[in-house]
Amino acid sequence: MSAAEFAEWIAFDQLEPISNHETNFMLAQQTALFAEVHRNRKAHPRPFTPAEFLRSAEAAPQRRMTAKQMEANLDMFMASHNKGSG
């Protein structure tokens, strides 16, 4: 993947997030199951839960973009998209 394509995906994710809550929770469940199967019961007596593998709003605050930042991201996305059609 080229740097330009990567930048295009970043810009697209800013406009239309690829991830969603259902997918994040499903991955947290799978990760908790994997961790539980390999858990050292003496070192970690309490079972793992999906909540331990979800990012909390406090741990990863959502970045608020300014109108200028949104415009710059959209410009970057459109420039990358239009480069191949001209």
35: exposed, middle or buried (Cβ count in 10 Å: 0-12, 13-18, 19+): middle
Which has the higher per-residue pLDDT, 37 or 77?
Answer: 37
Q: Over the stretch 40-67, which tens digit does the pLDDT of each residue have?
A: 999 889 999 888 888 764 444 456 778 8
Domain presence at residue 85: no
The whole domain housing 14 covers 3-55+64-80
Tell me what pLDDT residue 58 has. 41
Tell me what pLDDT residue 35 has. 93
Tell me what pLDDT residue 34 has. 93
Tell me what pLDDT residue 65 has. 75
Quote the number of domains for the chain.
1
pTM (predicted TM-score): 0.44
Domain presence at residue 86: no
Q: Over the stretch 11-27, which tens digit does the pLDDT of each residue have?
A: 887 787 766 777 888 88
Q: Which of 60, 5, 50 is nearest to 28 (CA)?
A: 50
